Structure 1
Amino acid sequence: MSARVLVVDDVLPNVKLLAAKLTREYFNVITAFNGPEALEMVHRESPDIVLLDVMMPGMDGFEVCERIRSDPATMHIPVVMVTALSDVADRVRGLEAGADDFLTKPVNDIALFARVRSLVRLKMMMDEWRLRENTSGQFGVIERSGTLLNESFERARILVLEDSALDLDKVTETLQRDHNSVMATDTGAKALERALTNELDLVVVSLTLVNEDGLRLCSQLRSHERTRQVPILLMVDEGDLNHVAKGLELGANDYVIKPIDRNELLARARTQIRRKRYQERLRANYEQSLSMALTDSLTGVFNRRYVNAHLPRLLERAIDSQKPVAVLMFDIDHFKVVNDSYGHTIGDEVLREVSARASRNLRTFDLVARLGGEEFIVILPDTDGEAALIVAERLRQRIADVPFTVSAVGADEISVTVSIGISVGGRLGDTAETLIRRADEALYEAKRSGRNCVIADARIAIDG
C-alpha cells in the first residue's frame, strides 16, 4: 500500500533515517523540520499520515497535533507521535491531544510499518465518507458533521475478551469511568456471539489468552457485516510486536501494552469510540442527503432528479429484454383554484393525498414521482400500452370518485380530478427524453379534451 507520509523532526539525521525506511517500503515521503512548517505542509500537500516528533523548539508536537485535530480540513489525517519520551504520562498527553499512536525511539520497524498501513487504510475509508458528505453539502441538503474531537465518548457499549480475572477487573473498572456499559467474556466463541447480538461501540481483545488466540476473534469480527466496522482495541504483552502487526493487518484499530495503564487505556478507548461515532454520523448524513436529494420533501415520493437517473437505465434494460416500459404523466386539474380558494396549506394536503392514492393503486415495483408543482409521473416496467391504459384509468377513478377530506374551515371535502397522458417505450432508439415528451404531449391533449380523462400517445397502437 502506497501513501504520502509527512515526517516532522527538527533533527536532520532522524528525518533522513525515517525517510529512508519508509522509502524502502515504497511510501512517498515529504518532510518538515518544525511545527509551523509541518502545519503548512499538512495544508499544502495533504499527506495520508503524519509522523510527528514531540520535542521541537517553539511549537512542540503536542501543539501541532492539537492544531491538526481542531481544523475540520485536516482533522481526519492520522498522526503518530515519534519521540524519545517513554513516560506513560507523555503517551496519554499525546493521545489526549488527538494522536493516533505514540511510538518511542528507536522506532521498531515492524510496529512502524504496521501502524502506518493500518492508519492509512482507515484514512482512505474516512476520505470516501468525507467526500460524499462534501458532495451532499454542495447540494445544500445537510450540514457538515463537525470535528472528530466534538464527538462524545461516554455511554459506549463495550465488549471485553479477557481470561485473566485480575486484568479483567482492572479493564472493566477503568472503562466504566465514562459511564460505559461493559460486557465481559473469557472465550472467543462467547465474545463473537455477544458481538453479533448487540450493538457495540468497541471490542477489547486480549492477545494473552491462555487457551486460544485472540486474533481469531479479530478475524471473525471483520468477516461479519454486523461487526465489520466496530473498532477493536488489542491488549498485548510488551515486546510482542509480531502479534500487534498481525492484529493490525487483520483489521484491529489500536493496541495497549500490558501491564495496562488506566489513563492510557481510557485515552485509546475514547479515541476509538469517538472515531466510530464520527464515522456513523458521516454515514447517516450521507444516507439522509441521498434520501433528501432523491425524494420530494412534501409528498415523500421520488423527485425529478431520481427520475432523470432511473428512467434511462430502466429503458435500456427494457430495450435489451424486449419488454416495454410505460410512462404516465398526470397533473391535478384546476389546482390553482384549490390554492386560491383554500390556501396553499390545503393545496399541500391535496398533493400528499394524490401521491398516496397513486402509490396505493400501483404495484410495489412501479415508481411514482413528483416532477414539481401539481405534475406527477408514474413509471411502469414490463407494461404494454393496453395494460398502461387500464392502470391509468383505474388511477384516474381512484382520485376522482372519492372526495378529498381536508382541514379547511367550511370545506371538509373537496373534489379532485387528474388528467393523464401515456407513452410506451422499449424499442431501439427510444430515449427517456422522448418517452417523457410523448407522455407530456398526450397529457396536454387530455387537458384540451376536457380534463379528467386519459389520453394515450398515438404510437401506442403501433407499439402494441
Structure 2
Amino acid sequence: MTARVLVVDDILANVKLLEARLSAEYFDVRTATSGQEALDILDRSPCDIVLLDAMMPGLDGFETCRRIKNSPLLMHIPVIMVTALDQTSDRVRGLEAGADDFLTKPVSDLALITRVKSFVRLKMLTDELHLRARQGSVGVEDRFSLADLTRNEPGRVLVVDDRASSSERIAQGLASENRVDVEALPQEALFRAAEGNYDLVIVSISLADYDALRLCSQLRSLERTRMLPILLVAEPEDNARLLRGLDLGVNDYLVRPIDRQELLARARTQVRRKRYTDKLRDSVAHTMEMAVMDSLTGLHNRRYLESHLSTLVEQSIARGRELSVLVVDIDHFKSVNDTHGHDAGDDVLREFARRVRKNVRGIDLACRFGGEEFVIAMPETDGELARMVAERLRQRIAGEPFRIAGGAKQLNVTISIGLASLDGAGETPEAMLKRADLALYQAKREGRNRVVAAAA
C-alpha cells in the first residue's frame, strides 16, 4: 500500500524518525515543522493522512487539526495526533478538535504502521466516492462542518457486551449524545447491526463465549454492515489482539478503564465519519440517477433508452414474446414556446410526463427522447394492444387542457404517435425506432392528433 503522508512536528529529529519509519513501508512522505506550513502544503496538494504533533509554537496541533476539519475540501483527510502528552484530557482535547486518533510517544512501529494503513484504506474509499459523485457534476462540497453532521440528530450506537455492568457504563456514558442499544449475544448482534440503521457498533473484546474479532470480521464481510464503524473496547493486556482487530478493519478502540469524555469523543468522531461517508454515497446514488433520468420530466433519458431497449428486444426475441414501441411527439410545441415562453413549455412537458406515467404500466419504459419527442417501450404487447394504449394516451392528452403559468392559463395540447411492433428474429432496436418514427411522420402529414401504426 502506498499513500502520501504529511508529518508535522517542530522538532526535526522527530520528523526524521517518522519519515524513516514510513518511507521503509514505501509511503510517500512530506514534512512540515509548523502548523501553518502544514496547512499551506495541504492547500496546494492534499495528502492522504496527516501525522500531527500537538505541542508546537505558534499554531499548535489542536488548532491546526481544527482548521483541517473545518475545511470542506480537507475535512475527509484523516489526522493522527502523535505527541508526548499522555493525559486523558489531552486525548479528549485532540479528539474534540476533530482528530481521528491520538497516539502517545514513543509509538511502536507496529502500532504506527497499522493505524496509518487503516486510515489510508478509509481515505481511498472516500476519494473513490468523491470521484464518482463529481463525475455527474453533482455538488458534494456543501459548506458544512463535521459538527453539522451530529448537531441535530443523536447517533445510533449498538453496544455488544455480555457483561451487564460494563455495557451499562458504556450506555450511560454515551446517552447524552446517542441512542444506545445493548446486545449481549454476539450472534444476535450481527443480525441487529444488519437490520438496524446504526452509526456505530462498540464491541467488547472480552466476550465470554465468542471471539470478538470473529464478530468484527463478520461485520466487515456482510454487505449491509461493511462500512459500519466498529470501536473495540479492550483490556490493557490485549495489545496484540487490538492490532489484529485494526488489521481486520476495526476503526478505533478504547482501553479500560474507560474515560467517559474520551468515549464520547471517539464515538462522536466515528458517527460523524459514517454520516459524511453516507452523504457521499447519497451524492453518488443521485449522480447515477441523474445520468439516466431527464431532470425536467422525471422520465428516463435517451441514454437509458438506448441501453435498455436493446435488452428488451433481445429478451423478447429469445423468449418468443411480443414487444411494441411508441414514438410520441407533442403537436406544434414550438408555438407554445414562441407564444407563451419557455417556462410554459416546461409546464407542458412536465404535465405531459405526469399523464404518461398514469397511463402506462409499471413494466413499460417511458423516456424523453429529446425536445418534445418521447418513446414508450411496451414489453409483451402486440400491435393491436399497443394501438389501444396509444389511442387512450392520445385521448387523455387532448381531453383536458394543460394548465400553465401556475394555473393562470390553459392550453389545448394534442399529440401524434407512431407505433411499431417486433418484426421477426432479425429485429434491432434501431429498426423498430425507425419504423415507429416513419409512422409518426405519417401521422403528422395526415393532420396530427392521431395514431399511425407502421406497416408490418
Pairwise TM-score range, normalised by the shorter structure: 0.7 to 0.9
Give the C-alpha shift of residue 340 in structure 1: 9.4
CA deviation profile, 1:196-248 (whole Å, cap 9, x unmatched): 33221111111123333211221222222222222111111225222122212
Could you tell me the percent identity over the aligned residues? 50
Match of 1:400 in 2: 394
Q: Which amino acid aligns with 1:204?
A: I
Whether 1:159 aligns to 2:158 is: yes
Match of 2:225 in 1: 227
Match of 1:20 in 2: 20
Match of 2:203 in 1: 205
Match of 1:448 in 2: 445
Partners of 2:172 and 2:439 in 1: CA distance: 73
Q: Which amino acid aligns with 2:155?
A: A
Give the C-alpha shift of residue 44 in structure 1: 2.8
Find the residue that maps to 2:56 and give its secondary structure. coil
Q: Which amino acid aligns with 1:161?
A: V
What pairs up with 1:263-412 in 2 under 5 angstroms? 263-307=261-305, 310=308, 327-335=325-333, 351=349, 354-355=352-353, 358-359=356-357, 364-379=362-377, 387=382, 389-390=383-384, 392-401=386-395, 404-405=399-400
Find the residue that maps to 1:229 and give its secondary structure. coil
Q: Is residue 421–residue 441 contact of structure 1 (8 Å, CA) maintained in 2?
A: no
Partners of 2:297 and 2:39 in 1: CA distance: 48
Match of 1:94 in 2: 94
Partners of 1:340 and 1:13 in 2: CA distance: 74
Whether 1:241 aligns to 2:239 is: yes
Q: What's the TM-score once normalised by structure 2's chain length?
A: 0.84
Give the C-alpha shift of residue 263 in structure 1: 0.6
Match of 1:258 in 2: 256
Match of 1:131 in 2: 131
Give the C-alpha shift of residue 5 in structure 1: 1.4
Q: Which amino acid aligns with 1:202?
A: L
CA separation of 1:398/1:215 partners in 2, compared to 1, >3 Å: closer, same or farther? same
Give the C-alpha shift of residue 79 in structure 1: 0.6
Q: Is residue 396–residue 452 contact of structure 1 (8 Å, CA) maintained in 2?
A: no
Q: Is residue 111–residue 244 contact of structure 1 (8 Å, CA) maintained in 2?
A: no
Give the C-alpha shift of residue 2 in structure 1: 1.9
Match of 2:175 in 1: 176
What pairs up with 1:83-122 in 2 under 5 angstroms? 83-122=83-122
Match of 2:9 in 1: 9
CA deviation profile, 1:92-125 (whole Å, cap 9, x unmatched): 1111111110111110222212211111111111
Stretches of structure 2 that go unaligned for 5 or more consecutive residues are none
Partners of 1:273 and 1:31 in 2: CA distance: 30
Deviates more, 1:232-241 or 1:77-86: 232-241
Partners of 1:312 and 1:2 in 2: CA distance: 42
Q: What's the TM-score once normalised by structure 1's chain length?
A: 0.83
Give the C-alpha shift of residue 30 in structure 1: 2.0
Q: Which amino acid aligns with 1:181?
A: R
Q: Which amino acid aligns with 1:197?
A: E
Q: Is residue 399–residue 418 contact of structure 1 (8 Å, CA) maintained in 2?
A: no
Deviates more, 1:349-358 or 1:44-53: 349-358
Q: Which amino acid aligns with 1:444?
A: Y
Cα RMSD between the aligned structures?
3.7
CA separation of 1:419/1:59 partners in 2, compared to 1, >3 Å: closer, same or farther? same
Q: Is residue 234–residue 255 contact of structure 1 (8 Å, CA) maintained in 2?
A: yes
Give the C-alpha shift of residue 47 in structure 1: 1.6
Q: Is residue 371–residue 377 contact of structure 1 (8 Å, CA) maintained in 2?
A: yes
